[in-house]
Amino acid sequence: MAGVTLSARGPEGVDTFRLSRRSATSPEVRIEVDSPSFCGLPRVVLAPDLDPACRVAAALESSRKDLAYQNALPHALWLLEG
């Protein structure tokens, strides 16, 4: 990821969140918030680039209280057994 901008309209106006990686190989991601309801101080977090297996595992993570997850779980377990 080089960068992404997310915008959402809430009851207090538009919130904009910008994430940008300092360089293609850097694990540091800068987060900037432009919002009437959130702190706007920029911050840096470590988010190393994941290999394909870790990306798939992260994409499959879900809340155990999620109805779609609960419905799919028996099928996933069945597929893993075979």
Tell me the average pLDDT across 33-59: 80
For the chain, the average pLDDT equals 81
- Give the pLDDT band of residue 28 (cuts 50, 70, 90): very high
Total domains present in the chain: 2
Residues 3 and 33 in one domain: yes
Q: Which residue has the higher pLDDT, 34 or 37?
A: 34
| Per-residue confidence band for 22, with pLDDT thresholds at 50, 70 and 90 | confident
**Domain boundaries, position 29:** 1-49
Query: Does 44 share its domain with 67?
Result: no
Same domain as 82, residue 54: yes
pLDDT of residue 1: 62
What pLDDT shows up at residue 63? 63
Same-domain pairing of 37 and 69: no
Provide DSSP, the chain: --EEEEEEEETTEEEEEEEEESSTT--EEEEEEE-SSS----EEEE-PPPPHHHHHHHHH---TT-HHHHHHHHHHHHHHH-
